């Protein structure tokens, strides 16, 4: 929840900005279209390319440069640095923009007319002395030349003395960022409306970007429509300049020869031949113009590598061949698609490679079509030449003056027809250019939408769910991978052996807890254990108990000593037997000697009475393990161990045997034949669950009978941990306050009643 609060409080608010534009499919009727159907005002357009063109790198970078977005002002905060585009009272213009230069400066407004600027440093650097300049002055700092001017609509007083971070970046990097964030989609299938949307932390900046993008896109659309007319006008003007010089020469010759009155004096035959000759010359002029266009087209295709979309269409020059027109239209359209797909000069696109290969094929097809058209025009030209030659032979029969006049008149008519034809095409191209308007129209201006990030409600919900799920998952993983015994429930799941009780965590360093702290929860746990044992053994007068475990460290010696202590405190003569002859240590807790013990008795070195040692507790005696023998297991198999048990029962009411660990040696299996009940000790968060399965297998196979499970060192209580220290302490302390004589009472009937109460409590809790 703290992470969610930090994110909601300090994250930048991301707003969407959306707009829509209309791309008209058919241009409204203009003046040029009233006169004639001209291909210059009805160009081919592939609308599938428009979304790609709007997101093209050249167009976006042009918008970035025009808006001066490569220069940004940021304001540093305690936790967040944000752009100050919407409220900063100044703006910066680069005087000599260089795409390769990037830098950061600290700018501080000193008053309404001046500011200081210095290099940005993340640490304290006393050598960086800022320079002071006037607003609206052109300055040079490092390698940058720029001008800081004031935005008149914004107040400057409240920002005096506040440092701003002036950042200069490459326009190409900014353009790539906008290309990645800009989304362009058709409103619906078949519609001519495009939806533009972009997200950012500065909605005012994104609105300016969308407005400028639509403006530049509309201007680009108009430029593309005018481009064909401009190239046509240039071509026609070049042709007119060459014809005009020749026409002036012929006109001068005609004036020198005579005026129109001389032409009227020509014979009827001469006028007939001249008229027929002029008809052929008009056709020849048209073929000459077509030939000039073919030469232009061949030269253009051989020299232009990436400007095929600027070619002059054949229909504008009166060439109506459908094959050539179709090939050139396809080539122009494909070139526009290639331009729209190019996102970066350094990124190769497989689709672009395919389209470039197709362009090469179309270029070859156009060149082949040109060869065919030139061959056809050559045939026509040869036919016209023969007809004109025949007329010229007839003209040779005329007088010399008429022949000379007809020759001049023929040249004049040829040039005049070509000039008139080109002037007509020039007028058409000019009218087309003047009548052109952009097909792009803004439908909805860019507007800011509600913040889409961060989402406080969603973040808090996810944080709350994760805050609960992560700890729960950790607990589940602990439970799954935990192979230690933790509670009574763990024992009940793995074995059918009865659970006799639990012992709380011993906070003292001594094993004589019952003796030293008789009113503690641990002491009460052992009293409950004593009562439960009497219940399991039907309250026999003489009893032998064995305390064992799987490995050392589970607390069997601690259990043996304190269990024997509670029996002795109840007035029963109790004997503790340290049957672990490999590592005898029972004598250390009572500060006794280990010179004699069980090993010396079983070896025949001492008699029974010689190995019995008293303790500081009344009615409690002990037999140490004795010196370590070379064969402890074999000694237990002798008849003297059975003799030891008989003699012990003759003198004592209870015999409690502390055995070696079951997982290490088999001594406990030998001893179990002579005991009335076995207490198997497990330690919370220490004993492996595998030990429980092993002892259950021993119990099922009959190797150990009359056994119960005891959970020791319970320091965790609550749900899932069963009978624990807190319950034992509460029960024992309150009962002890009511009757102090309870702790020394030797009435077995009270023990049975208490045992029944505790067992009923266990069943209810289970």
Q: Give the C-alpha separation, 606 to 586, whole Å.
A: 19
Q: Confidence band (pLDDT; 50, 70, 90) for 733?
A: very low
Low-confidence winner among 103-107, 160-164, 544-548, 754-758 (lowest mean pLDDT):
754-758
Q: Are 327 and 366 in contact (CB under 8 A)?
A: yes
Of 237, 235, 188, 181, the residue nearest 210 (C-alpha):
181
165-183 pLDDT, tens digit each: 999 999 989 999 999 999 9
Q: Give the C-alpha separation, 97 to 120, whole Å.
A: 20
315-349 pLDDT, tens digit each: 766 677 788 878 877 777 777 677 655 544 444 56
Distances (CA, A) of 430 to 312, 422, 423: 14, 12, 10
Token pair 């060149």 in the structure block, residue = 367
Q: Are 154 and 91 in contact (CB under 8 A)?
A: no
The average pLDDT across 113-135 equals: 77
Q: Give the C-alpha separation, 206 to 181, whole Å.
A: 11
The average pLDDT across 234-263 equals: 67
Q: Confidence band (pLDDT; 50, 70, 90) for 723?
A: very low
* DSSP 8-state assignment for residue 543: E
Does residue 387 surpass a pLDDT of 50?
A: yes
- Check residue 333 and give its pLDDT: 73
The average pLDDT across 425-443 equals: 82
Q: Confidence band (pLDDT; 50, 70, 90) for 46?
A: low
Q: Coil, strand, or helix at residue 176?
A: helix
Does residue 741 surpass a pLDDT of 60?
A: no
Low-confidence winner among 283-292, 511-520, 753-762 (lowest mean pLDDT):
753-762
Taking CB atoms within 8 Å and a gap of at least 24, the contacts of 8-11 are: 8/454, 8/456, 8/459, 8/460, 10/79, 10/80, 11/453, 11/454
Cβ of 536: how many Cβ atoms within 10 Å?
Answer: 20
657-689 pLDDT, tens digit each: 999 888 777 788 889 889 999 999 999 989 998
Contacts of 631 (CB under 8 A, 6+ apart): none
Q: Are 443 and 267 in contact (CB under 8 A)?
A: no
Q: Confidence band (pLDDT; 50, 70, 90) for 738?
A: very low
Low-confidence winner among 90-94, 414-418, 695-699, 726-730 (lowest mean pLDDT):
726-730
Does residue 252 surpass a pLDDT of 70?
A: no
534-568 pLDDT, tens digit each: 888 877 888 999 999 988 889 999 999 999 999 99
pTM: 0.55
The average pLDDT across 7-16 equals: 89
Q: Which residues face 713 on adjacent strands?
A: none
**Mean confidence (pLDDT) of the chain:** 80
Q: Give the C-alpha separation, 477 to 709, whole Å.
A: 27
Q: Which domains does the chain have, with CATH numbers?
A: 71-169 (no CATH), 232-440 (no CATH), 488-765 (3.40.50.300)
Q: Confidence band (pLDDT; 50, 70, 90) for 273?
A: low
Half-sphere exposure of 519 (CA within 13 A, CB side): 9
* DSSP 8-state assignment for residue 733: H
Could you tell me how far CA 254 lies from the centroid of its own chain? Answer: 84
């Amino acid at each position: 929840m703290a992470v969610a609060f930090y994110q909601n409080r300090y994250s930048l608010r991301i707003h969407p900005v959306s707009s829509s534009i209309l791309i008209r499919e058919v241009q409204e009727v203009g003046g040029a279209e009233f006169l004639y159907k001209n291909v210059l005002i009805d160009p081919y357009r592939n609308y599938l390319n428009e979304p790609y063109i709007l997101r093209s790198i050249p167009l976006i970078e042009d918008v970035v440069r025009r808006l001066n977005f490569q220069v940004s002002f940021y304001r540093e905060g305690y936790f967040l640095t944000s752009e100050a585009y919407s409220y900063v009272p100044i703006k910066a213009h680069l005087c000599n923009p260089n795409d390769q230069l990037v830098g950061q400066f600290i700018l501080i407004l000193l008053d309404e007319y001046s500011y200081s600027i210095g290099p940005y440093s993340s640490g304290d650097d006393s050598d960086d002395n800022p320079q002071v300049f006037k607003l609206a002055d052109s300055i040079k700092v490092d390698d940058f030349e720029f001008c800081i001017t004031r935005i008149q609509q914004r107040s400057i007083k409240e920002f005096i003395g506040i440092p701003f971070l002036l950042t200069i970046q490459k326009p190409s990097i900014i353009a790539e960022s906008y290309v990645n964030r800009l989304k362009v989609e058709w409103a619906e299938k078949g519609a001519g409306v495009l939806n533009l949307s972009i997200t950012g932390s500065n909605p005012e900046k994104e609105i300016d970007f969308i407005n400028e993008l639509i403006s530049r896109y509309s201007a680009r659309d108009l430029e593309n429509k005018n481009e064909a007319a401009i190239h046509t006008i240039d071509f026609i003007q070049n042709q007119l300049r060459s014809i005009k010089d020749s026409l002036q020469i012929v006109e001068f010759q005609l004036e020198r020869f005579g005026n129109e009155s001389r032409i009227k004096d020509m014979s009827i035959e001469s006028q007939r031949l001249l008229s027929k000759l002029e008809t052929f010359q008009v056709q020849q002029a048209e073929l000459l113009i077509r030939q000039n266009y073919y030469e232009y087209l061949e030269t253009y295709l051989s020299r232009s590598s990436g400007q095929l979309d600027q070619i002059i269409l054949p229909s504008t020059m009166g060439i109506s061949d459908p094959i050539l027109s179709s090939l050139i239209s396809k080539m122009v359209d494909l070139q526009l698609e290639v331009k729209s797909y190019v996102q970066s000069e350094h990124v190769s696109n497989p689709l672009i490679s395919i389209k470039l290969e197709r362009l090469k094929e179309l270029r070859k097809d156009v060149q082949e079509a040109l060869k065919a058209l030139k061959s056809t025009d050559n045939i026509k030209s040869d036919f016209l030449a023969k007809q004109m030659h025949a007329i010229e032979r007839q003209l040779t029969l005329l007088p010399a003056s008429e022949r000379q006049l007809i020759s001049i008149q023929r040249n004049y008519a040829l040039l005049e027809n070509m000039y008139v034809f080109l002037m007509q095409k020039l007028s058409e191209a000019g009218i087309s250019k003047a009548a052109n308007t952009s097909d792009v129209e803004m439908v909805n201006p860019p507007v800011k939408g509600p913040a889409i990030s961060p989402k406080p409600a969603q973040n808090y919900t996810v944080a709350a769910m994760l805050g609960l799920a992560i700890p729960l998952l950790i607990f589940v993983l602990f439970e799954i991978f935990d192979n230690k015994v933790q509670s009574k429930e763990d024992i009940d799941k793995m074995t059918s052996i009865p659970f006799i009780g639990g012992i709380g965590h011993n906070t003292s360093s001594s094993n004589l807890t019952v003796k030293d702290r008789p009113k503690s929860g641990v002491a009460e746990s052992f009293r409950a254990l004593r009562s439960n044992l009497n219940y399991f053994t039907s309250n026999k007068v003489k009893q032998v108990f064995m305390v064992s475990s799987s490995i050392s460290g589970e607390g069997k010696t601690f259990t043996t000593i304190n269990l024997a202590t509670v029996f002795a405190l109840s007035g029963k003569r109790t004997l503790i037997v340290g049957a672990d002859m490999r590592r005898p240590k029972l004598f250390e807790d009572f500060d006794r000697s280990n010179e004699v013990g069980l090993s010396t008795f079983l070896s025949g070195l001492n008699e029974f009475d010689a190995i019995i040692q008293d303790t500081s507790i009344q009615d409690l005696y002990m037999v140490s393990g004795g010196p370590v023998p070379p064969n402890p297991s074999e000694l237990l198999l002798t008849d003297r161990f059975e003799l030891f048990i008989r003699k012990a029962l003759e003198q004592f009411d209870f015999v409690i045997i502390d055995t070696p660990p079951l997982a290490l040696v088999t001594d406990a299996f030998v001893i179990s034949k002579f005991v009335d009940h076995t207490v198997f000790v497990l330690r919370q968060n220490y004993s492996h669950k595998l030990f429980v399965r092993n002892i259950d297998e021993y119990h099922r196979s009959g190797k150990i009978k009359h056994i119960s499970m005891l959970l020791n060192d319970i320091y965790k209580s609550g749900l899932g941990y069963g009978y624990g220290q807190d319950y034992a302490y509460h029960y024992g302390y309150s009962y002890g306050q009511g009757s102090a004589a309870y702790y020394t009472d030797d009435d077995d009937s009270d023990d049975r009643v208490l045992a029944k109460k505790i067992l009923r409590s266990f069943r209810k809790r289970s």
